[in-house]
Amino acid sequence: MNSGEIPGLAEQLQRAGLRPTVGRVGMLAAIIQIGEGYHYPEDILRELLRQGRLGSITTIYRVLADLTSINFLQRSFDVEGKAKYRLADASFAAEEICLVCEQSGRSITVHESELRRKLDQLARQHGMETSSSPLLIRVNATTKLESAGHK
């Protein structure tokens, strides 16, 4: 990994609405270093420790949840039901819009390229740019959901 990747990762996190903490940037760098494919949290922790970075499995799971919620990572499950993670497909994520409820943390991902194009255009008209990662929109719940199964 070259020295230019770390600032790039920090900028991507910032544009996605997450503070680029040492843990988040370090974990993304470790996942990139491990290579393509799915990785278990323990594998990511081993890579961080191999790089001489401090870390705990609790921090790994917390950061994985953060990065999955903004679609930087994709989560899947193996045949035993154990979660594994990989970097999200950037070309597909570029058109995604992710609505995240500030109260509950629930999220809805919308794949609507025309809406995303219009939002990108509106931002440019006002001297701004949207992130290349999924566009994150924070929303507030207007009703309480009866079941906890809605995520």
Predicted TM-score (pTM) of the model is: 0.56
Answer yes or no: is 148 within a domain. no
Please say if the pLDDT value at position 130 is more than 80.
no
- Shared domain for 69 and 98, answered yes or no, is no
**Residue pLDDT, tens place only, 69-98:** 887 888 888 777 888 898 887 555 566 787
- Shared domain for 58 and 126, answered yes or no, is no
Task: Read off the pLDDT band of 29 (50, 70, 90).
Answer: confident
Nearest to 8 by CA among 63, 84, 72: 72
User: Stretch 90-108: mean pLDDT, rounded?
Assistant: 71
Write 141-149 long-range contacts (CB < 8 A, 24+). 141/101, 141/103, 141/104, 141/106, 145/104
Largest CA distance in the chain: 50
Q: How many domains does the chain have?
A: 2
- Shared domain for 81 and 11, answered yes or no, is yes
Listed range (4-8, 13-17, 48-52) with the worst mean pLDDT? 4-8
What per-residue confidence (pLDDT) applies to 4?
A: 44
Answer yes or no: is 27 within a domain. yes
Higher per-residue pLDDT: 74 or 145: 74
What per-residue confidence (pLDDT) applies to 46?
A: 92
